[in-house]
Amino acid sequence: MRLNTLKPAKGSRKVRVRVGRGIGSGLGKTAGRGHKGQYARTGKGKVKPGFEGGQMPMQRRLPKVGFRSKLARDTSEVLLYKLDSLKGDAIDFAALKAAGLVDTRA
């Protein structure tokens, strides 16, 4: 083996295909992109995310929804054995708050 006889391993080096360089190459003229249309244009047919070809996109078709605070509490859990420990006849929201069974923000 000599340095001047060294060759790369079979399949390790790919020949770069030059498209659009004449009809004899097999990929001349339209360079494998076909005629006209979105993917025949420059930029590889890239479109903005959400673009639907001119149709009104989904994010604009759907209605906007409001905001609901995660801090707002509208329900609270009270266990029966804790209710049993409360003294008094009437058990209302104020009594539950006073006993510390319900969050004060509720």
The residue among 92 and 44 whose pLDDT is bigger is 92
Confidence bin at 20 (pLDDT 50/70/90)? very high
pTM of full prediction above 0.75: no
What's the pLDDT score for residue 101? 87
**Those residues with Cβ within 8 angstroms of residue 23's Cβ, 6 or more apart along the chain or in another chain:** 29
Q: Which amino acid is at 81?
A: Y
**According to the model, what pLDDT value does residue 44 have?**
77
